[in-house]
Structure 1
Amino acid sequence: MAIEIKAPTFPESVADGTVATWHKQPGDAVKRDDLIVDIETDKVVLEVLATADGVLGAIVKNEGDTVLSDEVLGSIVEGGAAAAAPAAAAAPAAAAQAAAPAAAGEDDPVAAPAARKLAEENGINIAAVAGTGKGGRVTKEDVVAAVAAKKAAPAAAPAKAAAPAAAAPVFAAGDRVEKRVPMTRVRATVAKRLVEAQSNMAMLTTFNEVNMKPIMDLRSKYKDLFEKTHNGVRLGFMSFFVKAATEALKRFPAVNASIDGGDIVYHGYSDVGVAVSSDRGLVVPVLRNAELMSLAEIENGIATYGKKARDGKLSIDEMTGGTFTITNGGTFGSLLSTPIVNPPQAAILGMHNINERPMAVKGEVVILPMMYLALSYDHRLIDGKEAVSFLVTIKNLLEDPARLLLDI
């Protein structure tokens, strides 16, 4: 019986998808929950799994084709794998029976002793080696060839895995070659949204700097105990910024708002997006109700999203919505930047690299670990005074972490 392979049901925000990669080909045996095909949408890559054991039948939608929600991609012939297995198992047995009479009278009915010894030393299944000797006998030269093929096989595997990275090829010095690759849907969507943000917003950026020494001292003092207490969750800097941002958003609700047509929508919750760079482009998973989360819950959520982003496992729901975004260019060594607001949000906070700089403290020059902060905001909704005050609030909370506990 043939079972249809269908595209996932896309949410309302996703119109269609593109067939990215078929992991099985017609005739390949599949088991239930095996990965069959990847569907790339504007936001994420969705995996389509096998719903039954069998053999992959005809492919209806090829790689690069556009598909709609629940559209048929191909089919699985249920039970086909089970029928193919006995036939495959019978083939070596039949070959062995055919080889035995031909090798009658020889010292070894399958292979020469030297060939068998060499196969055992290199982990080669002698029955799987095609013999070129008299009567199908496996010779030492046949095993040598099999060993060489086995060593070459692993080297070929990474080449296939590295295919997605072809979008950024490395050329030798002096080469005047060009390589054209299609832009992924995620990258194309990111490009489109960023251009729209700059075209449709009155975007402005304000800057400040924060002394990171109090946070660094606090983290250094408690990071081991924190990790032990919270089952391996590590204490980083991002959780402090998220916590400070949620407190500042309470005090300046316009920064947590958005424009919908002729209306301003004020959100009574803080869904904070954390920008993450992945191989397919920038993604922004969202920490829901971050104002209610502890530092450990924030760190655990960020770590989980980071792993999912690297593995391409983020769901659309995990990246939908968000009332405010934080991006950390300092991870890559950025000293200063002007982040672009992620519409329909009204603002985005940019973190940067921590550098030791001479600072004037009470009339004396002190070397302190300083970070530049940048807040890009939609000036249609947020006045300059609010934006500056919001950023100063974050600065004050980070330079005196006790304020986060005392709510002052």
Structure 2
Amino acid sequence: MKRQVICVLLWGFLSVKTGAASEFGANVLNEKLQIHGFASQGYLQSDQNNYYANTKDGSFEFNEFGLNIGVDLTERLRVAMQCLSRDLGEFGNNTVEFDWGYGQYRWRDWLGLQVGMIQISWGLYNETRDLDFLRPWIFLPPGLYDEQHRDVYDAMLGVGIIGNTSSSPFGSLSYTLGYGEKTLDETSSTFSNEDRDLFDDAKLHIDDILGGDITWDTPLENLRFKGTAGTYRATFEGRVANHPYWIEREVPVGLPYSHSEDGKYLIFSVEYANESLALAAEYKQQNQTQDRGEDIEEGYYVSAAYHVTDWLECGVYYSISYPNRDDKSGQQFVKQGRPDYFAWQKELVFTARFDLNEWWLLKFEGHAINGVANLRGDDNPDGYKEDSFLFAVKTTFSF
């Protein structure tokens, strides 16, 4: 709620300031003030399973609206923020939120300080995932960028340092390192309907987030490598709700409940991108340690995109997700009486992007999907099919 109020106040303040700047012709302010925004609307249709929304019947519950602002107060001091509203089935529901915002002081090229709601480093594209015009895909590869957990990895309240080295015969290096925390309530897409039914006042506290990245821009033009790593502690808290599950087990309503796990993640990334061709590959390993043991999640993808003309870009990627690296064949699910394809999700995706003009684009995308590891039971109460196809179309206006 606080993030929503802050966003509304800042949005109103910006409207006044930009209006005043326009009225009095404050050219200096306009040169230092950058304002960008986007609005998109999409449609999703699947033949078997539901993906994030009621896609088997077709769904227009797929849109995004964002405004980001950056101001260079001095040569070394900058403040920036983004407000975002999105809807993807039950996710977001068009609530305007303060997505991220921070102050940045650049003491030297190799050392700067960030304070506020700073973005979390997660692979190549997490920090720019809202900027539709930067990529051909409608959905980033779910092996690393699953939409259900977007608000877990978007930003944290904390402090960070950044820096980069100048170019040399060996290329150049840049880095980020941050420490912080965040709390998600039951409106987060991370929570299932089962969580909301079983617990009242459910919250997920993610504390002691320590993460960063190192990027090497190689001497070979347009080729870069990136490594991302981090650790955190996640604690789920709530109170037992008045639900048959608890009543049958004679658990008192209102009893406090808490569960914690320690996590760490490691991501390796490589990208080659010139004006016509973009190639990328990423690998993620995420360890989550609980009282009952350790789960190791694994995901990876390879992608390629090519500008056929100035107004048409075509692309393809293949993405794989394994919630449990030690059970890629799904034998543990079989022992529980469930299908083995619960253990993976493999997607072959083709996309076409049409740039209708400088500020308006249109995308078409097809997902041939095997497995259901990333799907939500909330969206599929009647069960799953192993193979399915998802068609997506999306149009975006940017300024």
Q: TM-score, normalised by structure 2?
A: 0.23
Q: Higher strand share goes to which structure?
A: 2
TM-score, normalised with respect to structure 1: 0.22
Which structure would you say has the larger Rg? Answer: 1
- By percentage of residues, which structure has more helix? 1
